[in-house]
Structure 1
Amino acid sequence: MKIVFMGTPLFAVEVLEMLIQEHEVLCVVTQPDKKVGRKKILTPSLVKEIAIKHGIEVFQPENIKKEYQKIIDLKPDMLISAAYGQILPKALLDQITALNVHGSLLPKYRGGAPIQYALFNGDAQTGVTVMYMAFKMDSGPIIKQESLTIEQEDDYLSLTKKLSTLGTKLLKEVLGDIKNKNIKSIDQDETKTTFSPTLKPSDEFISFNRPTLKIVNQIRGLSPEPGGYARVNDSKIKIYKAQKSDIIINVDAQPGQIIMIKKRLIVKTLDGAIDILLIQAPGKKIMETKDFLNGQNIMSLNDVFKGEDTL
């Protein structure tokens, strides 16, 4: 089958690799290179790196709604998308059959951040949906779905890898069914629709004036990329892993207050405390908190993480 593939992050990589092995990928469409890190180094998407490795043409439109004719001109048998990152124009979907591999059990978590929201909300399970694409976001008929248990230790990276593997398996099955003309689909139940909008910078801010479990799950959903953050003494601290603390809480402490800082960094929450396990100070690498605490002078006992970053 001649395919144009559209995808950008890690979730899409395993899907693309399977398509390269089993079909003819005419072109890979991915988001433009982005500036990454403190030095703002222009960095290609993971999908682009795979395409270049296999000598496949890469197309990176700034706005796919205005720059889609190239895809039509390639005359693919099918368009396959996995976390591409832009809404496709109706004119394109009207001319080419398109499938999408989506990291949720649709119609739950339509949108750009389904994996993150499953973690934020502490869901016990999620899954992958392979669907026909429609002009309305993530609304097309469902061809195949399969659920997956979310383990307590899962974060955004580990859950993405699991869902990518599951999505690759489901897509392979669907393409086989299409080849054998044994394809079926069902419409989504619109009454059960929920959304997972693409994350904004403000979603990375960790407020400690919330229940402990909500904070821990937010950190899971943001780790290792982009990482959650909080501020203490005018320093922006990134937090990549935390757990509910077993320490007995000082009832007079306020949310965000550091109640232990010797060997462990424990911070008061609305209903208890969290034990911060992986941390990154400004200009430093990510490290285990016990190592960070050796010689640091950014924070002290009873200091308070407070206020959203205004920079």
Structure 2
Amino acid sequence: MKLVMLGTGPFAVPTLQALAGGPHEVALVVSRPFKGRKKALRPPMHTAAEELGIELWTPESVNLPESIVRLESLEADLLVVCDYGEILKPAALGATRLGGVNLHGSLLPKYRGAAPVQWAVWNGDTVTGNTVIQMTAGLDAGPCLAQQRVDIDPDETAGELEERLALLGAEAVVDVVEKLTAGTAETVEQEHTAASKAPRLAKQDGLVDWSLPALQIKNRVRALSPWPRTFSFWHIEGREPVRVVIDRVQVDQSGEPEASAPGAAPGVVVEQSGKLLVQTGEGLLEVLTLQPAGKRVMQAAEFLRGYSGGRFASE
């Protein structure tokens, strides 16, 4: 088959590499434009396409009439879409013989939207997966062609989970393409009434609310790593608050959470004997590594030597 791959972010790279190494022709890679100057910040798919020697095209929109004309001129069989960054309209999907398939990092219909992996971790889910769908006009609403289920490690960050799902998902896409080639692909309609949304998270979502339970805060730290990160403000009397990125944490298991620090307000550091233990709305959270503004990431003990006598607050 003659394929056109649409992708921009890192989640799409393993799929492109797998397809390029297979029997089918990847005629073109379509990616979102990059207007920066730093090569290190280029979208991963730009670099991957160049390394594989595949033509890269970065239109302002794949849905523009002139873009549709170019897609149609390729006379391709299938669009393969993953982590692209633009919703394809019916005209774009109709530019190839078999339309488009999309690799999505959740067990659809759960977590339709731009950040399915982050929301799975944010909500403390223990299982997630990938879905390959036949694309339709609705957002992540097309019938399923394949699904994969994976367990989420309780300490796994969204970035680590996404890397695993990307590698597994590439295998699912290759399998779907083979079945479409052979005419043996089968679809299963999604249970649309069970759909949930996974909108893109913003930097401000990383502000820690210390009144939440320790486990919930931990899940948010995991979900927002590597971007946009969680943060709080370290207050020492008589000094300006310091913005601090919360890097790695764990729920303290040394005692009963509800009796961890009777009367202590959320954000208060209740022990500083080598550990940075913070009172939350339910239980203690141990901050393992953190990064004060303008400084490097450091261990909690090192931080406490330079910033002793403080507490966390949300502003």
TM-score, normalization by structure 2: 0.88
Three-state SS of the structure 2 residue aligned to 1:213 is helix
Cα distance in structure 1, aligned partners of 2:222 and 2:129: 17
8 Å CA contact 1:33, 1:42 repeated in 2? no
Closer/same/farther in 2, CA of residues 35 and 238 from structure 1, 3 Å limit: farther
Match of 1:55 among 43, 53, 56: 53
Aligned position for 1:306 = 314
Cα distance in structure 2, aligned partners of 1:57 and 1:219: 38
8 Å CA contact 1:206, 1:230 repeated in 2? yes
Number of residues paired by the alignment? 301
Cα distance in structure 2, aligned partners of 1:235 and 1:104: 37
2:244 is equivalent to residue 237 of structure 1: yes
Three-state SS of the structure 2 residue aligned to 1:75 is coil
Cα distance in structure 1, aligned partners of 2:35 and 2:106: 26
Aligned position for 1:263 = 274
Aligned position for 2:30 = 29
Aligned position for 1:139 = 141
Match of 2:289 among 258, 278, 291: 278
8 Å CA contact 2:5, 2:81 repeated in 1? yes
Cα distance in structure 1, aligned partners of 2:314 and 2:36: 29
Closer/same/farther in 2, CA of residues 24 and 293 from structure 1, 3 Å limit: farther
Cα distance in structure 2, aligned partners of 1:247 and 1:41: 47
Structure 1 residue ranges (4+ consecutive) displaced by more than 6 angstroms after TM superposition: none
Q: Per-residue deviation at 1:174?
A: 0.9
CA-atom RMSD, angstroms? Answer: 2.1
TM-score, normalization by structure 1: 0.90
The unaligned stretches of length 5 or more in structure 1 are none
Closer/same/farther in 2, CA of residues 184 and 283 from structure 1, 3 Å limit: same
Three-state SS of the structure 1 residue aligned to 2:129 is strand
Aligned position for 1:13 = 13
**1:212-255 Cα shifts (integer Å, max 9, x gaps):** 11100011111123211112233221112211013562222111
8 Å CA contact 1:223, 1:241 repeated in 2? no
Cα distance in structure 1, aligned partners of 2:231 and 2:61: 31
The unaligned stretches of length 5 or more in structure 2 are 236-240
Q: Per-residue deviation at 1:42?
A: 7.0
Closer/same/farther in 2, CA of residues 265 and 68 from structure 1, 3 Å limit: farther
Q: Which has the larger radius of gyration?
A: 2
8 Å CA contact 2:7, 2:31 repeated in 1? yes
8 Å CA contact 2:11, 2:166 repeated in 1? yes
